[in-house]
Amino acid sequence: MNGLRYVYAVCRPLGAPLQTALSGVAGDPPRLLAHHGLIAVVSHVPERDFAEEPLRRRLEDLDWLTETARAHQQVIDALTAVTTPLPLRLATVFRDDSGVRVMMEEREQDFLRTLDRLDGRVEWGVKVYVEPEAREPEPAAARPVSGRDYLRQRRTLARAQEDTWQRAEEFAARLHATLSARAEDARLHPPQNSALSEASGQNVLNAAYLVPRAQSEEFVEIVDRTKGEEPGIRVELTGPWAAYSFVDMTEEVGAGGPGEDA
């Protein structure tokens, strides 16, 4: 069976080989498809899961989605260790190799420009949480002895929570300013829903920073130093990621000059 082509990323030719035991989406090892001065990292996926109709359904199957997303990320991770890849979104699928080549040719200039911009950079994710302890004093407090006492307790609790929020917001703003000054670029993402992330506490800052590899060590240390600085506030660092948050090329699409399709 020939199957469809799943594309993970586009990059410049690799200086070092990909790790050998790497398995991609649907268990097929990724291959390198060269075209002009670029390569696409692709693997074969079965039509029964990745043709348009089944894919729609599959994307809503949590177990399948988890497995596929992890496999996708694993390949991008392996690439990040040896080069600077432009990661594609999950489930970018072509009928065959020639479809991939056509796409690469059409977007060649965009790819080259973006690869130049991101060369040697990685993305670090930083999240700030308000710890759930802020909520706990309520059941622990002494039972109200009167209506007035009950209202007083509620007011104290509400004030304490407001204070925590204010402190967290100020802390997050300060941290973001510090880190932005150390990064080449920064993006603020919407806070993660705690029901989705299953992380404890309320996410108040969800940011990504573009940092040159050479300066990553320093960046990580700055983040580490802020941990535990404020009681009730938690800082989380993830990465290094491929520059997922900084590959946005939409403004360049279709803005091509005349003669591009000649």
Closest CA to 183 of 163, 207, 200: 207
Q: How far is the CB of 48 from another protein (least distance, A)?
A: 13
Q: Is 42 in the site for another protein (CB under 8 A)?
A: no
- Name the segment binding another protein (CB under 8 A); options: 27-35, 85-93, 166-174, 176-184: 85-93
Question: If binding means CB under 8 A, how many residues of this protein chain bind another protein?
Answer: 65
d(CA 77, CA 83): 10
From the CA atom positions of the chain, what is the Rg in Å? 23
The 9-28 site mask, x for binding another protein (CB under 8 A), equals -x------------------
- Closest CB to another protein among 155 and 170? 155
- Read out DSSP for 146-158? SHHHHHHHHHHHH
Residue bearing tokens 């696409």: 40
Residue bearing tokens 């072509």: 94
Q: How far is the CB of 182 from another protein (least distance, A)?
A: 16
Which tokens belong to 70?
């992890």
State whether the Cα torsion 62-66-68-69 is positive or negative: positive
Q: How far is the CB of 76 from another protein (least distance, A)?
A: 8
d(CA 22, CA 51): 24
Q: How far is the CB of 34 from another protein (least distance, A)?
A: 18
Q: Is 141 in the site for another protein (CB under 8 A)?
A: no
Side-chain-side CA neighbours of 100 within 13 Å: the count stands at 27
Q: Is 59 in the site for another protein (CB under 8 A)?
A: yes
Which tokens belong to 71?
């496999």
- Name the segment binding another protein (CB under 8 A); options: 12-20, 29-37, 167-175, 187-195: 187-195
Q: Is 62 in the site for another protein (CB under 8 A)?
A: yes
On whether the CB atoms of residues 93 and 24 are closer than 8 A, the answer is: no
Q: Is 222 in the site for another protein (CB under 8 A)?
A: no
Closest CA to 202 of 153, 158, 155, 169: 169
What are the backbone dihedrals phi and psi of residue 216, each rounded to the nearest 5 degrees, phi first?
A: -65, -40
Which residues between 143 and 182 bind another protein (CB under 8 A)? Answer: 145-148, 150
Which residues between 93 and 112 bind another protein (CB under 8 A)? Answer: 93-95, 99, 103, 107
- Closest CB to another protein among 142 and 195? 195
Q: At 236, is the secondary structure helix, strand, or coil?
A: strand
| Among positions 1, 16, 17, 250, the unique one binding another protein when judged by CB under 8 A | 250
| Among positions 11, 88, 134, 205, the unique one binding another protein when judged by CB under 8 A | 88
CB atoms within 10 A of CB 10: 26
Residues in the site for another protein, rule: CB under 8 A? 4, 7, 10, 50-52, 55-56, 59-60, 62, 65-66, 69-70, 72-73, 77, 81, 86-95, 99, 103, 107, 114, 124-125, 135, 138, 145-148, 150, 189, 192-193, 195-199, 213, 216-217, 220, 237-241, 244-245, 247-250
